[in-house]
Structure 1
Amino acid sequence: MAELIQKGNQKVYDGYKSFQYLEAGVDYKSYTLAKEVDRVPSFSYPVTNEQENEVQTILEEDLMISMHEHTFIAPEDLNQFYEFRRQGRDFTAFEALSRSGLDVIFENFMDGTAMITSLAGWKWSDVIHDLGIRFSDIAHQDMVIKAERIEDLSRAKREGKIAFVGALESASMIENELDRLDVLYGFGIRTMGVCYSESNMLGSGLREPKDAGLSVFGKQAVERMNKLGITVDVSHAGDQTALDTIETSTKPVTINHAGARGVWDTKRMKPDSVIRACAEKGGVIGIEAAPHSTISENHPHHNIDSFMEHFEYTANLVGIEHVAFGPDTLFGDHVGLHDTLAGQLSIKSAQKSSMERVDYVKGLENPAECFPNIVRWLVAKGYSREDIRKVTGGNIMRVLKETWAK
């Protein structure tokens, strides 16, 4: 896999490792981290030599944007995860990302598990700490740039770099303080979810048995995000809260990592009504690949084919102009991490007990593997260059141009 990816869209990488400007064991506690690449057997979606050449050309020439990733490296021993998280220091897989084929990554950090002061996550001080530490690390290297304006995204492509778009999956940490949105914008956050799976001051999460919709404060927060230039996301919102958010927003709203409930009937997937409302407002739906999410009856064993079935269903429902990819992957044992955090992140409540378990999602195991295989799949299925360009970056750029500050 790595050799193939290096042919197309290889980044200018000088070998930097996270926090190498500090001394391990003196400035921070060192943990053995999972492998960035080849943690599991690599997999390239099968294409002909001619098609592979086309894939590499697309990766090289066109803008590749992932709407949702976690580029941190998990500890190898997940029994250490809670202790690891309390240190408040995440390591970024720079080497693997240099071969990912990606130009822009919506970096969602790990703030649902920001546990420096509380096991519950989402605390204001912990989130600020997490953002500051990660951006400090990024500031010490040259391959990844902090994206704050549209020009940063195209500049990253031109310069052989990767633009990180600061993203948070929930606004829980603002509590009832609207001005905290301004502070987060100042830190570099450019897209934010209304809520995670649990309810907060803004609205109801998808876990809740009753969805009261967007609160009065939630409407104020959406209005403030519109004014600031923060793209509003409803991936983890309950159905009514998502619909209310889309209606309240004066700008397009995203679903940056989800799938279609019409393909796989769980709360984590979005119903047709929410997908249509998102598209009608001009938004985009990013299909996710986190383990045991985008499964289908045709492909109950989660893999790239079940993932792409959600993509095609959504594209057929609302048009290919409103679909993209937000794989929601990380570096390390993602399934094991879900098992470790099952109660913490309400993961089990969004899955079917009858599903087939996988150890990892073949072909979509981490942020370095996803997009080359997604492009291979699209090329193999005969999608046009124009349509591939839309779903791998163009559709997202359209939304960002409408939602970010000019």
Structure 2
Amino acid sequence: MPEVDAMTWRAKAVGLVWGLALLGCGALRPALEAPARGGVPPDGRADLHVHVTMREALHPFFQGEPGGAELADAPGQRLVNQMEPEALRRAGVRLVLATVWPPNALRPGRGALGEALHQLALLEDFARRSPDFVLAYGAGEARQRLASGQLVLVPTVEGGEGIRRVEDVDLLYAAGARSITLVHFFDNSVADAADDQFGPLMGRLTNGGDGGLTPLGVEVVRRMMELGIVIDVAHASDRTITEVLALTEPAGVPVVYSHTGAGWADTRCLSAPLARRVGAGGGLIGIGLFRSPFQQVPVEERWEGFEPGTCDDDVAHWLHYTRQAGAEAVMLGSDFNSVIERARPGGSCARGMRHTGDLPALFAALEAHGVTREQLDGSAARVLRVLEAVEAHARPEAQRVARGRRPPREDLFPSNVP
């Protein structure tokens, strides 16, 4: 069909973009700094978006995994692990939405749904063999795991490219996904993605017109609510977000925008009006730590001595969304372990954003600019409240049906794909 062919062509275009971006070098784990004066903060912080198992998603390009030997030692190292368990504890981050990215365009022989299910299985395997992490599949389980002192991962999927029928949502739920980003870099069968995510030229190659939810997308959103899956509208067009909110707001179901910047290209950010609606509905907005040639920081959030390109940008984005949506809605959505360039050294963070060991400097900078310790420490509790609100709307019968579905085995692990 022409529509499917167009989507496939766009997927290949994005795959080419990522292929060109896959440039980097490995690094042995740098020494972590001692905790700053004042000790370790309370265990109440969360991160809405981390690619915990990117080594599997970008095999063989990406090096290292959390708890392993490799750790990026420069903000420009995009293909080296940036997540360290001890550093998370020192920063007080205990709850992480662990995002799997199924880049089907880079996996010949395996479809997008099969890749998503495969990545979820690999995340489960990582947690099983890692002494530092444990998976949680709901708010109650997450609370219990946090109380036991563990670092808790909630499985999420970035991009609904594998969803071609409503039953596919059931399969992702049965495989453990508790949050799904409807779209990623290009339009899919569910919804319209934000245009110009790679700039105007690539935007014309990878996306179509100004669209919203497809008829299937409407069904998918309703099914996610029935199953208790958090709806993540990151990367979505304004029209898509508006149409999602038209379905979730009357039901009292909050949504999240897991990672954004206040001006990461005109269309690759959450607009102020939509940010206010997300916050008013009890949802969450995650501040990403990525740099981009298209990034702009709101002038009104800058201060004397502000240094563009440093973590001052991240602080300014945080302040911008706090002004728009309220402090309770804003938290970290780092996008660590994505193929991104992060804040360079300077400004409020002397070493830049190399890895999770630099989060205390970012948090200190936020406090210096008016974000309270209580707001930072309460982010995990706010994530749990969103999970509970979404779960409260779920139908047990729908969950039972979803758990009984079986994935298409022929699409999971082809022998010719690692």
The normalised TM-score by structure 2 is 0.69
Counterpart amino acid of 1:94? G
Q: Report the CA distance between 1:90 and its aligned residue.
A: 8.3
- Give the 3 Å change call, closer, same or farther, for CA 214–334 of structure 1 in structure 2: closer
Q: Does 1:204 align with 2:192?
A: yes
- Give the 3 Å change call, closer, same or farther, for CA 265–200 of structure 1 in structure 2: closer
Does the 8 Å CA contact 2:265/2:295 hold for their aligned counterparts? no
Aligned counterpart, 1:93: 66
2 CA distance for matches of 1:196 and 1:301? 27
- Give the 3 Å change call, closer, same or farther, for CA 92–275 of structure 1 in structure 2: same
1 CA distance for matches of 2:138 and 2:237? 30
Aligned counterpart, 2:223: 224
2 CA distance for matches of 1:98 and 1:219? 42
- Give the 3 Å change call, closer, same or farther, for CA 62–42 of structure 1 in structure 2: closer
Counterpart amino acid of 2:354? E
Aligned counterpart, 2:317: 310
Counterpart amino acid of 2:257? I
Aligned counterpart, 1:130: 119
Aligned counterpart, 2:286: 286
Q: Report the CA distance between 1:291 and its aligned residue.
A: 2.6
Aligned counterpart, 2:5: none
What does residue range 97-136 of structure 1 map to in structure 2 within 5 Å?
A: 97-101=85-89, 102-112=93-103, 115-117=106-108, 123-136=112-125
Aligned counterpart, 1:327: 334
User: What percentage of residue pairs aligned between the two structures are identical?
Assistant: 20
Partner secondary structure for residue 100 of structure 2: coil
1:351-371 deviation digits (Å, cap 9, x = unpaired): xxxxxx9699953223x2353
Q: Report the CA distance between 1:115 and its aligned residue.
A: 2.9
1:107-162 deviation digits (Å, cap 9, x = unpaired): 112313673325xx971122222221231232123321111121332333333321
Q: Does 1:64 align with 2:45?
A: yes
Partner secondary structure for residue 164 of structure 1: strand
Q: Report the CA distance between 1:319 and its aligned residue.
A: 1.1
Does the 8 Å CA contact 2:158/2:180 hold for their aligned counterparts? yes
Q: Report the CA distance between 1:37 and its aligned residue.
A: 3.6
Does the 8 Å CA contact 1:71/1:330 hold for their aligned counterparts? yes
- Give the 3 Å change call, closer, same or farther, for CA 107–385 of structure 1 in structure 2: same
Q: Report the CA distance between 1:216 and its aligned residue.
A: 1.6
Counterpart amino acid of 1:62? D
Q: Report the CA distance between 1:62 and its aligned residue.
A: 3.3
Structure 1, unmatched stretches of 5+, are: 1-31, 76-80, 337-356
- Give the 3 Å change call, closer, same or farther, for CA 97–122 of structure 1 in structure 2: farther
1 CA distance for matches of 2:331 and 2:28? 25
Structure 2, unmatched stretches of 5+, are: 1-23, 69-83, 196-206, 395-418
Does the 8 Å CA contact 1:258/1:285 hold for their aligned counterparts? yes
2 CA distance for matches of 1:283 and 1:83? 34
- Give the 3 Å change call, closer, same or farther, for CA 301–387 of structure 1 in structure 2: same
Does the 8 Å CA contact 2:48/2:258 hold for their aligned counterparts? yes
Q: Report the CA distance between 1:91 and its aligned residue.
A: 5.3
Does the 8 Å CA contact 1:103/1:153 hold for their aligned counterparts? no
What does residue range 153-302 of structure 1 map to in structure 2 within 5 Å?
A: 153-175=142-164, 177-207=165-195, 208=207, 210-249=209-248, 250=251, 251-261=253-263, 265-292=265-292, 295-296=296-297, 298=302, 301-302=308-309
Q: Report the CA distance between 1:57 and its aligned residue.
A: 4.0
1 CA distance for matches of 2:58 and 2:280? 42
2 CA distance for matches of 1:63 and 1:36? 30
Q: Does 1:375 align with 2:352?
A: no
2 CA distance for matches of 1:70 and 1:210? 29
Q: Does 1:397 align with 2:373?
A: no
Partner secondary structure for residue 328 of structure 1: coil
1 CA distance for matches of 2:148 and 2:333? 23
Does the 8 Å CA contact 2:255/2:284 hold for their aligned counterparts? yes
* Aligned equivalent of 2:134, options 135, 139, 145: 145
Does the 8 Å CA contact 1:256/1:286 hold for their aligned counterparts? yes
Does the 8 Å CA contact 1:64/1:393 hold for their aligned counterparts? yes
Q: Report the CA distance between 1:317 and its aligned residue.
A: 1.3
Does the 8 Å CA contact 2:286/2:331 hold for their aligned counterparts? yes
- Give the 3 Å change call, closer, same or farther, for CA 138–334 of structure 1 in structure 2: same
1:162-194 deviation digits (Å, cap 9, x = unpaired): 11111111111112x211211111111111111
1 CA distance for matches of 2:280 and 2:237? 19
Does the 8 Å CA contact 2:104/2:115 hold for their aligned counterparts? no
Does the 8 Å CA contact 1:213/1:244 hold for their aligned counterparts? yes
1:274-310 deviation digits (Å, cap 9, x = unpaired): 2122122221111111232765255573221111101
- Give the 3 Å change call, closer, same or farther, for CA 127–74 of structure 1 in structure 2: closer
1:305-354 deviation digits (Å, cap 9, x = unpaired): 111101111111121111111010118x7449xxxxxxxxxxxxxxxxxx
Counterpart amino acid of 1:259? G
Partner secondary structure for residue 308 of structure 1: helix
Aligned counterpart, 2:403: none
2 CA distance for matches of 1:374 and 1:401? 29
Does the 8 Å CA contact 2:315/2:366 hold for their aligned counterparts? no
- Give the 3 Å change call, closer, same or farther, for CA 380–82 of structure 1 in structure 2: closer
1 CA distance for matches of 2:146 and 2:114? 34
- Give the 3 Å change call, closer, same or farther, for CA 317–382 of structure 1 in structure 2: closer
* Aligned equivalent of 2:26, options 13, 34, 50: 34
Partner secondary structure for residue 111 of structure 1: coil
- Give the 3 Å change call, closer, same or farther, for CA 300–139 of structure 1 in structure 2: same
> Pairwise CA RMSD of aligned residues?
3.3
2 CA distance for matches of 1:218 and 1:64? 32
